[in-house]
Chains A and B, each alone.
Chain A
Amino acid sequence: MTEVPPLPISVVVTDDLERSRLTVFFRLLLAIPHLIVVIVWGIAAFAVAVVLWLALLVEGKAPGTLQKFVASYIRYSTQVSAYINLAADPYPAFGGAVGYPIDLEIELATRQSRGRVAARLVLAFPALLLLAVLGGGFSGANFTTFSSSTSGDGGDLWALGWSSGGVAMTAAFLAWFASLARGKMPLGLRDLIAYCIGYTAQAMGYLLLVTDRYPTTDPARVVPFARLPPHAVRLELSDEVRRSRLTVFFRFPLAVPHLIWLTLWSMLVLVLVTPAWLIALVIGRLPSFLHRFFAAWIRYTTHVLAFLYVIGGPFPGFTGAAGRYPVDIAFAPPERQRRAVTAFRLFLAFPALVLAGAYGTAALVVALLGWWAALFTGRMPEGLRNLGAVSLRYSAQATAYLFLVTESYAYAAPALRDRPRNVQLELPFDAPGVGPTAIEAV
């Protein structure tokens, strides 16, 4: 097996998930002084990055002091971002102290390839596009300010990122309610926000010439500590990243027959879901035949989306059969479900559906970037593929919860691997059944 080099900018998490309700409630207001500093420092950091760019172009080597200045800015903005997005609880130090619960380890790259430096802004564009939908940073606010003054296109990109909220902001929005209610941050949401923050730090480090390693979206590398708890709905990923350029080029029209079939199937599912809900309320579980039918539909949806988004390679079948597609969903057998949870399923599913929407936006960008990458290289970048797979896994879990296939709530962390079963779960709460409950695992 090839040794994977460590990331030059990696996120370190020592957060204990405890949250002060009072500071959570006033979090945005409390962060205002930090925001001012971040903006001012950000303008300076971008100006310094221009000097760095010139120095690297001329000498092929970056002045260490200037690079450290920019790296410090990235660390500080990461900590402020973690504070605002509720990934960490303590009020950060102005200037960014080492040892904050969400911190960065940064390895400076003083020598960088001149060619890659020269084209840095162009090369960084895909990463910035992803950053816009993941939205885990504060550098964005600065970038808007910077770009609006220079009428650059990046400003529009960032405006898009902020206006659409991004995955991190959606997760933070949900986490705000959960933290206020429980005094603890749900682990899944914390890991998701940490992932977005970690990716943002990598992307900004690349753009601002702290490193010349291209940022990876692979959740296993950005947040290697994130693991999935046992769940009734699991993703089974056996996909090879090789892609046929021809099927990639025609990916959308090839998917059209599937989309038509999926629409028809979905209409039938929508017709059946109300009777299914009533039956589940009466008998306390979903009948086996409905469980199979809904599970096949969710599996088929995942196959089709995986194909459409280039997350999966082969053309999928039309039946949603288990074990036939390299991006597959496995379901536990039908389980007993609490009637109270079943009765309010639609309302309980709402946060998961909101987050699934944010994840879905990320999957669209994955599809766009993956399409180009696969078309040119004949391979889907593994990081993009894994982010897309996480998105599909979350969407499948949220849909399965909504459609009564399981009572286990969708787990938000961007993880593909299961937590080993013989290891004590580090969930903040006791998790009944096979999976986490609604509030803990959003």
Chain B
Amino acid sequence: MRIKPLDLRLGRGVRVALVVVAGLAWVWCALLLLRSAVPTDLRAVRLDTTTIFGKALVRRAEHVERFFLIVWVLSQIALFATLWVYARRGPRFARESAAGPIGTGMLLGMLGLGIVWLVQLPFGALGLWWARRYDLSDIGYLEWAFGDWFELAAAFTSICVTLLIVMFLARRLGEAWWIPGAAVFVVIGAGFAFAQPYLLAETTPLGDPSLRRAATEFEQKQGVGGIPVSVEDVSGTTSQANAYAVGFGASRKIVLWSTMVDGTFTDREVRAVLAHEIGHHSSDHIPKSLAWFGLFALPGAWILMRATRRRGGMGEAAAIPLALLVVAALQLALSPAQSWISRGMESEADWKALQTTRDPAAVRGLFVGFARTSLGDPDPPAWAHILLDSHPTLAQRVAMAEAWRRQQP
């Protein structure tokens, strides 16, 4: 099938004007989304990490983190080498399909994921070995491998649905598929984000009455209400502590890992965590993330359309292996921006936690505790921080608590 080139029958001047207007709209939306409760004039406090976290802990955390970073770099090299080879040779697997163009595209997409999974498996195993060595994970190798197998099946299903939509639109609309395609994915993303609290592993309501009262109080202070708080049992899986906010609107929820409320952290520190997660909801971070996704999805889909043009466009199964490579490259290229946006949201939630609890000592204790239980490097290499960190460094988070304290009259 020959894909129709995008032809809006507009003059060059009009098209340039449209692109400029769209670009300005994009920037305006981005600026709106970047607005934060964190004061712009907050004076950064320089702290000595070894004083806060202790020399031994910092060294140990750096050592642990360094290995993970090396494994990540190697896995990325392997990933792109694999996808590059697959982009060249993958189309030949079309002969293994009797499923028509879209079904064949699904097969090629799934095979691509499968090959990537296989190639990444040794790196995952290395990471697990390292995590087990430092008591960061209690998962057995078999459990990890088989659990991954089912995750792979879920990923296969997701890519099938994605390709079904994209290829259907591309075959119907030609090169204009990327406009409705991006919109469809934002809608699907919103659906998943809304439904995620209902798809989570089994959780139990938070039992501690004092923590429940604290959560209600913090919700009132932040102008939200009725957010259920649950505990997810992760004992036997990991010793790391974590919490997260999921859902939006009627499905909002906060989940604490059982390692957060097993006595490792003080009540004041857990309260700080609750205030932080409530801060995510009160700042509408999840709808904002969806909006960001929409902002990136549009140009991303356009790039994908252009990149696959030589293979007949996204309506052709032969373009799918190349599309996988392009998507992976886009993800890597956008990861600094995504991490930066995410760090901004985390900073805002930290700030709201400080404003709500007014307890910088607890916040500081919490992050020192995180460094201890998760062995996260308080001050990682700059490149790794820019590329990978979705949260401010632990040192930066402690510094914010200190800055908040100093700001108080």
A324 sits at the interface (CB 8 A): yes
Which B residues have a C-beta under 8 Å from some C-beta of A? 93, 95-100, 103-104, 106-107, 110-111, 114-115, 149, 152-154, 156-157, 160-161
Instruction: From A313-321, A394-402, A423-431, give the one contacting chain B.
Output: A313-321
29 contacts between A and B (CB under 8 A): A244-B93, A244-B96, A246-B93, A246-B111, A246-B115, A247-B96, A249-B114, A250-B110, A250-B114, A253-B114, A253-B153, A254-B107, A256-B154, A256-B157, A257-B106, A257-B160, A260-B157, A303-B98, A314-B95, A314-B96, A314-B99, A315-B98, A315-B104, A315-B107, A317-B98, A317-B100, A318-B99, A324-B100, A325-B98
Question: Are B157 and A315 neighbours in the complex by a CB distance under 8 Å?
Answer: no
A252 sits at the interface (CB 8 A): yes
Question: Are A324 and B153 neighbours in the complex by a CB distance under 8 Å?
Answer: no
Number of interface residues of A (CB under 8 A): 21
B-contacting residues, A231-281, CB 8 Å: 244, 246-247, 249-250, 252-254, 256-257, 260
Question: Are A252 and B153 neighbours in the complex by a CB distance under 8 Å?
Answer: yes
Interface majority SS (helix, strand, loop, mixed), chain B = helix
CA distance in complex: A314, B162 (Å): 21
CA distance in complex: A249, B96 (Å): 13
CA distance in complex: A246, B95 (Å): 13
A252-B153, A256-B156, A315-B104 known; A246 vs B99 contact (CB < 8 Å): no
Question: Are B157 and A257 neighbours in the complex by a CB distance under 8 Å?
Answer: yes
Which one of A246, A256, A260, A316 lies within 8 Å of B98 (CB-CB)? Answer: A316
CB neighbours of A284 from chain B (8 A): none
Question: Are B96 and A315 neighbours in the complex by a CB distance under 8 Å?
Answer: yes
How many A-B contacts at CB < 8 Å in the complex?
A: 65
With CB as the reference atom, state the residue of chain B lying closest to A312. B98
CB neighbours of B104 from chain A (8 A): 315
CA distance in complex: A437, B375 (Å): 72
Which one of B103, B114, B149, B161 lies within 8 Å of A315 (CB-CB)? Answer: B103
With CB as the reference atom, state the residue of chain B lying closest to A250. B114
Max chain B Cβ within 10 angstroms of own Cβ: one of A246, A257, A314, A326:
A257
CB neighbours of A249 from chain B (8 A): 114
Which one of A244, A253, A303, A315 lies within 8 Å of B152 (CB-CB)? Answer: A253
CB neighbours of A260 from chain B (8 A): 157
With CB as the reference atom, state the residue of chain A lying closest to B99. A317
With CB as the reference atom, state the residue of chain A lying closest to B118. A249
CA distance in complex: A326, B149 (Å): 28
With CB as the reference atom, state the residue of chain B lying closest to A244. B96
CA distance in complex: A252, B156 (Å): 10
A257-B156, A257-B157 known; A250 vs B100 contact (CB < 8 Å): no
With CB as the reference atom, state the residue of chain B lying closest to A246. B111
